[in-house]
Amino acid sequence: MVESQQHQQFIRHAVEAADAAILAAQEAEHELQGAITQADPTAIQRAQAKLGSAKRQVAEAAAQIRSFDGDRYGQQLQQTIEQLQQAKQDLDVSEDHYHTPKQVR
């Protein structure tokens, strides 16, 4: 019984980490869009750094979620996995959408 409760707690923490990663991804995308709108190179670089950080956070959360037994907890975690995949795709699109031009000498 205690082992089951501990396992449920690990799953809950993994889902919370995934939710935080998804939120970080959304915030990074929003910040990048704002920086692009303002045409502020410093803000764009800062937003791109947040985008990279959010991508790592999403990847780590996805790996953690996938470490659980899919047969036993699959239904419970499937929605979170799908949300993480969507967040990763959105980050990739945002990253591909805008690249800081390299300085020409």
18-61: pLDDT as tens digits: 999 999 999 999 999 898 888 888 998 899 899 999 999 999 99
Q: How many residues does the chain have?
A: 105
4-22: pLDDT as tens digits: 666 678 888 888 999 999 9
In 3D space, the residue among 60, 65, 64 whose CA is nearest the CA of residue 77 turns out to be 65
Task: Give the global pTM.
Answer: 0.79
64-81: pLDDT as tens digits: 888 877 666 676 688 888
Contact 84, 68 (CB under 8 A): no
